[in-house]
Amino acid sequence: MSGSEDVMRFLDERLGAGRAVRFVLDYVFPDHWSFLLGEIALYSFVVLVATGTFLALFFTPDTAPLIYHGSYAPLRGAQISAAYDSTVRLSYDVKGGLLMRQTHHWAALVFVAAVTVHLLRIIFTGAFRKPREINYVIGVTMLALAMLEGFAGYSLPDDLLSGMGLAIAWSVAMSIPLVGGPFATALWGGRFPGTSVFESRLFIAHVFVIPVLLAALITIHLAMIMIQRHTQFPGSGRREDNVVGTPLWPSYALRSLGLFASVAAVLVAMGGLVQINPVWLWGPYHLYVGTNGAQPDWYLGWLIGALRMMPNLEIHVFGHTLVPNPFFGGVLFPSVVFMVLYAVPWIDRRFISREAAPHHLLDRPRDNPLRTALAAAGFSAVAVVFAAGSADRLFFQFGFGYEGAIWFFRGAFLVAPVVVFVLTRMICVELRRSGRHPLRGWSGSVLARTRRGGFQTIDR
Amino acid sequence: MSPEEPAGGSREESSREGRRRRRLWTLLAALALAASRVLRPRGSRARSDRGPAPPVGAEERAERLVAALLLLTALSGAGFVTLFVLHPDTQLLGATLGACLALLALALAVASSRLVVSETKVEQRPMPGDPMEARQAAESVQAGGQRVTRRRLLGGAVGAAGAGLAAAVVVPVAALGPGLEDQLSHTPWRAGRRLVDAEGAAVLAADVNPGGFLTAFAEGVDQEQLGSPVAVVRVDPASLRLPAARAGWAPEGILAYSKICTHAACAISLYRSPLSPSTQARGPALVCPCHYSTFDVLQGGRVEFGPAGRPLPQLPLMVDAAGALRAAGPLSEPVGPAWWGDRR
């Protein structure tokens, strides 16, 4: 005890840290499983930084050709790029390298998934309402950055799949009206596949620019939660002007560290036991080679789906191509989705809740049927596009014809949101009326007859 | 060495490895089961401080359990280090480090639920939005500029300075790449240029089989140049329905198209070539595996399905005296995805 007192006194006399430390230790976290989604994202990010730092020690961001002499026999003697060579080498010839690489990849998938589900939780419970609009906007920005970061990451190894992804990214950049050509050319250092400078630019974006931005935004995100305190679900003793929950020290800190260890355990175990992105099987990228059934990481599925679903429309003026086709699926669709996401707090204030009062008590999804139904409808539209991204896998796995599937998804994109809206609204209204809880069953008082013939009520 | 030897040896080794892994999984499952029993709350309020006092000795048992779990954590950590040095097998490394972290997680979970004081606290929530504070802050901001009388002049000057500085900061971005708009439409195909394979050998007309598909490049040009690779196929000359202006572009029914999709620059690497009469309702087509743009081979690369907005560029062919394929002229369209500079 006296040891910690000495440390505290040392810090307090120099920084006045005593008050700050007590503030942090006494900080109260409301309890609910869904509040852990953001923490899962945070801890995945920590695993990403740790494994990514290890990988950066061995990866060469260079597309210069060389001859492979590593221990993976099928590639020996092949002419490949330095980037691809170093990726295969760090997988096969660096101790623990493959574990780190696969853990890094799995962590990236879990990171974006946790951010996405966290965002859904925020939207469905109305946690974005005043006074949390700023933090909400920062969160949506982090989702966009996370996707960009992931794409940059799996584009680095210069294997067949990363090259195919970059070809599409270049075409999407080219498709921006008027400025697309010069913009894409500047970024790639020439016409696709560009010069070697592009690989270094991708690398610095992936290991420095975007992670630093993410780290800064995560810091602000957490600082704002500290300032405003976490939201809480309504319950006994819980009011707008208080926070009911577990103090950080010691209980919540132990629990949260336990969650960190669990997340890391799952990611490391998957990194060791479940293969992901075996680049040596895909082979090196050449712009004249393609493979059938190629799929991006899951979080880009909605973009490939949008590119695939779009009818072959292009807009021409005065003999120029004003709007090339990839613009619709690759730029317009994600921009609209993110604009809507950014606008959610203000759409809610203006059209759904129709009020601007601050809220610290969360809505359960059923409490606001209109908001829940609209959010579910919007989500279903994106989900349909996401599913369309795997229409080719539907053909491989189940034999559904590709062209028919695309027409089906085009129809579903228009129909599903309406159906989902009506159904969700109905369910919410019914749940709110009946007081039933879909996960916990029915709750209320039970009138029971006692042994002696009397009656008593049992609270459940 | 006879072929059976290594097979037998590896089978034995793999079965030993399998047994080791099974034992590992059994251990993990047992631990998980034990943990779930410990963590299961006794009664609905066991975790809250309002519940009944825990039975005597429960705390000591929990302490022992946490200590045991932490020791196991240390043990699996040491196991990971040992494996790393002696036998860095990816699966075993992942399993031991994963187990190490999982045990730590269990220890922390048990500690937080059984060992430390777990209380529910109520804290007053700070309510931001004091109108007085906001007004005073705004006044302080304004007071800082009170001696400035020529506000509009200065405001304009500040704007100008900002614009100038921003331009100076942004301009180095132009160093990123040259403005290579004419490079974007460049292709190496001219009349007389030979088609060669990946090794640089001339592609002969006789190399192209009906129903087959091969990739060729412009002779003497970098194969990684967007305009170079073409897909070469052979169809029945009688089935061709090329536009009148392209008569003679397909000698002996051999056709060449750019291999770069006009939608999103992927390599066109699928060829649909119906051989049985039941599937011949639709003719041969080149298909891009990225977004399945489908180009009709018989009709000069017309878009039959998919998102591509332009036909696939066709290369007019001729067969020289040696039987080799040569370009009879430039490609019919700009290569690759569309952009503003594409003139139609």
Which domains are present in chain A? 1-30 (no CATH), 32-348 (1.20.810.10), 364-440 (no CATH)
Distance from CA of B171 to the nearest CA of A (A): 13
| CA–CA distance, B251 with B120 (Å, rounded to integer) | 85
Write B328-331 long-range contacts (CB < 8 A, 24+): B328/B191, B328/B248, B328/B249, B329/B189, B329/B190, B329/B191, B330/B187, B330/B189, B330/B190, B330/B191, B331/B187, B331/B189, B331/B227, B331/B258
Token pair 């994109």 is found at A413
A301–B contact, CB cutoff 8 A: no
Task: Give strand pairing partners of A316.
Answer: A321
Q: Does A190 touch chain B (CB under 8 A)?
A: yes
Work out the pLDDT band at A450, boundaries 50, 70, 90: confident
What do you get for the CA distance between the two ends of chain A, in Å? 44
Interface of A with B in 321-360 (CB under 8 A): 321-322, 324-326, 329-330, 358, 360
Does residue B59 contact residue B110 with C-beta atoms inside 8 Å? no
Taking an 8 Å cut-off on Cβ atoms, the answer to whether A186 and B116 are in contact is no
- d(CA B85, nearest CA chain A) in Å: 8
Q: Among the listed ranges A88-102, A305-319, B37-51, B280-294, which one has the minimum average pLDDT value?
A: B37-51
> What is the DSSP code (8-state) at residue A422?
H
> Of all residues in chain A, what percent carry a pLDDT higher than 90?
79
Higher pLDDT, B179 or B120: B120
Beta-sheet pairing, B195-196 with A315-317: unpaired
| A451 burial level (CB within 10 Å; 0-12, 13-18, 19+) | exposed
* C-beta atoms surrounding B158 within 10 Å: 10
Beta bridge partners of A66: A80
pLDDT, tens digit, 9 for 90 and up, residues A252-263: 999 999 999 999
Quick check: B301 and B313 in contact, CB under 8 A? Answer: yes
The Cα B291–Cα A51 span in angstroms is: 33
Residue A316 — pLDDT band, cuts 50, 70, 90?
Answer: very high
Give the model's pLDDT for residue A144.
98
Range in A11-20, A308-317, A358-367, B147-156 with the lowest mean pLDDT: B147-156
Q: Distance from A158 to chain B by nearest Cα, in Å?
A: 14
Strand B254-258, strand B270-272: pairing: unpaired
What is the arithmetic mean of pLDDT over A178-203?
90
Chain A residues whose CB is inside 8 A of the B127 CB are: 241, 358
Confidence of residue B38 (pLDDT cuts 50, 70, 90): low
**Distance, CA of A356 to CA of A131 (rounded, Å):** 9
> Is the minimum CB–CB distance between A188 and chain B shorter than 8 Å?
yes
So what's the pLDDT on residue B3?
37
Look over chain B and give the mean of its residue pLDDT values, rounded to a whole number.
85
Q: Give the pLDDT band of residue B8 (cuts 50, 70, 90).
A: very low
Mean pLDDT of chain A: 93
Place of tokens 């006879």: B2
Note the pTM of the prediction, 2 decimals.
0.89
- To 10 degrees, what angle do helices A253-273 and A97-124 make? 130
Q: Which residues of B touch A95 (CB under 8 A)?
A: 84, 88
Model confidence at A186, in pLDDT bands (50, 70, 90)? confident
d(C-alpha A244, C-alpha A30), whole Å = 6
Report how far Cα A433 is from the mean position of its chain's Cα atoms.
34
What's residue B177's pLDDT?
63
Distance CA(A225)–CA(B111), nearest Å, equals 26
CB contact under 8 A, B122 and A402: no
Q: What angle do CA B215, B221, B227 make, to 5 degrees?
A: 60
Provide the shortest C-alpha distance from residue A385 to chain B (in Å): 13
In the predicted structure, residue A134 carries a pLDDT above the cut 90? yes
Q: Does residue B212 surpass a pLDDT of 80?
A: yes
| B68 close to A (CB below 8 A) | no
| Cβ atoms < 10 Å from Cβ of B55 | 9
| Complete edge-to-edge strand list for the sheet that includes strand B230-234 | B195-196, B213-218, B230-234, B254-258, B314-315
**How far apart are the C-alpha atoms of A311 and B306, rounded to whole Å?**
7
**Average pLDDT for residues A48-74, to the nearest whole number?**
96
| Inter-chain CB proximity A167 and B265 less than 8 Å | yes
**DSSP strand pairing (A320-323 vs B230-234):** unpaired
* Closest C-alpha among A153, A154, A150, A146 to residue A118: A146
Residue B40 or residue B97, greater confidence = B97
- List residues bridging with A234 in a β-sheet: none
SS3 of B129, please?
coil
